[in-house]
A = this chain, B = another copy of it.
């Protein structure tokens, strides 16, 4: 039931979003997508990730259970970025984020099946150039 050392989906998602050289991701044969979104509207961040996941066939857009799994992974990742209330413009701040989405089987035991990870990395701050610091978030869900 334990996590596979070389298939830690969250670690891979974070390294992917950080654009860190290290990828052993190729040999895993997992579905992945990366993208960018900058906005003061938190719903636009959610929508951008959902759209990328659907376009890249990471989730099947005709199946709600897959959209549901993704949605909660996104919301959890946003908690890491927003650290308290999942709000951007309504508390006078904005984000510039890269995101990575991964779908794969991170557990040793086959029966654990597929999981989805959403990693976010970028900056959060005032709507003034340079008035920002980094933020990260990771959401993981079974799919």
Contacts and interface: CB of A to CB of B under 8 A. Distances in A.
Interface of A: 1-4, 6-25, 28, 30, 32, 34, 41-43, 46-47, 50, 62-65, 67-69, 71-72, 75-76, 78-87, 89-93, 98-102, 104-109, 111-113, 115-121, 123, 125-126, 128-142
A69 B104 contact: no
A71 B126 contact: yes
Interface of A is mostly: mixed
- Copies of this protein in the assembly total 6
B91 A17 contact: no
Nearest to A64: B131
A46 to B, nearest CB: 4
Contacts of A123: 3
A91 B96 CA distance: 17
Given A9-B106, A13-B100, A3 B138 contact: no
A134 to B, nearest CB: 3
